[in-house]
Structure 1
């Protein structure tokens, strides 16, 4: 499965920060029950890599990727943990090279046209636009569509349920990443019913983006 295959599976990807390994199994099951197919576990906690393995075991139907890839050693560790894809918040020349050499489906992070061109030249047509809202949001991505027609973006950072459809209406947006589906607080509180409901809302938004007449 390549990165395009993964992005075609889901239009909304929950971005997860999990501080306790014991939360991994019920979290995975709640997201899966809600209809989520693709999730991103961020490397922001000491147990993140163990969480990846636990989520994959608890809900094999989930495609579990790893985010906050910031250095070459993160690439190796994430792949060893079973990550289905890799996501970085930004990308140096060294990190782009490591991602490319790994052969793993990857989305390097960009925030400017120059960074996007550099990532494209390194072989990455799918890119994370981060932090989306602070970096210019919908209007900025709309402006990039003309000069960079071959790049597919996954805007992440400040993207709410209310804003998701605005991003998904853009022809150069493949999907959006959002922490609102399962926030750090909801996970810490074991609010699995709420998370499941949020997942269902995300699935409904995905359907709306495909069938409401909005361009894809």
Structure 2
């Protein structure tokens, strides 16, 4: 592994998160994806995690990176090396997985991808740090013990930078915010329940503005 390339990858993760909330999005159509991006941007959030859980995800990712060049796009639910490469080709600059596997770690290191593996225990965090991944996803955050558990686990792991995801809400966001290791929270609530809504962009804008205010 080229040392400079690895340093660049780590530096990219340090500078990637612009706000304290990273919207985690499951997209049902390309139009919905564009509406969500529009709403987030208007509400003050310029970063998004597009989960690779639907057939429309990759196409939407490509369209969002074209239409919103100032929006930082990350690929979520990355489970295979191929998904890394597909997402990178479409403009994703951060890659997030629900867990940590040797296969994904090797591919991320080989390609110099800024990867955020999922972890739920002290041992998993230590393994991620050993491999050079300082930005880690605490997942599933509430099921893994919530803010109290994360505060205890990260207390002796000074290098860990954490993005808790899974069960984070506007109401419990302040509890996560108090933890020194937390760099941002994964916000699934910002874009849930949108399929039957007429003005998706407006609803997301309001939620985004509330989330930004809560983090500050």
1:98 aligns with 2:100: no
1:6 aligns with 2:16: yes
- RMSD of the alignment, in Å? 1.3
Name the residue aligned to 2:177: 168
Q: For residues 142-198 of structure 1, what are the alpha-carbon distances to aligned partners after superposition, in whole Å with 9 as ceiling and x for unaligned? A: 112222111011000010011111101100111100111111x21553432111100
2:46 maps to which of 6, 16, 37: 37
Q: Secondary structure at the match of 2:103?
A: helix
1:202 aligns with 2:211: yes
Q: Is the contact made by 1:75 and 1:102 (CA closer than 8 Å) also made in structure 2?
A: no
Q: For residues 4-49 of structure 1, what are the alpha-carbon distances to aligned partners after superposition, in whole Å with 9 as ceiling and x for unaligned? A: 1012x11101000001112222221111111111110000001111
Q: What is the aligned residue count?
A: 205
Which runs of 5 or more structure 1 residues have no equivalent in the other structure?
208-216
1:80 aligns with 2:89: yes
Name the residue aligned to 2:5: none
Q: Distance in 1 between matches of 2:157 and 2:77?
A: 25
Q: Distance in 2 between matches of 1:3 and 1:133?
A: 24
Q: Which runs of 4+ in 1 moved over 2 A?
A: 187-192
Q: Which sits farther off after the overlay, 94-103 or 161-170?
A: 94-103
TM-score, normalising length: structure 2: 0.91
CA apart distance, 1:112: 0.9
TM-score, normalising length: structure 1: 0.91
Name the residue aligned to 2:194: 186
Q: Distance in 1 between matches of 2:113 and 2:37?
A: 22
Name the residue aligned to 1:28: 37
1:53 aligns with 2:94: no
Name the residue aligned to 1:157: 166
CA apart distance, 1:202: 1.1
CA apart distance, 1:100: 1.8
Q: Distance in 2 between matches of 1:187 and 1:18?
A: 9
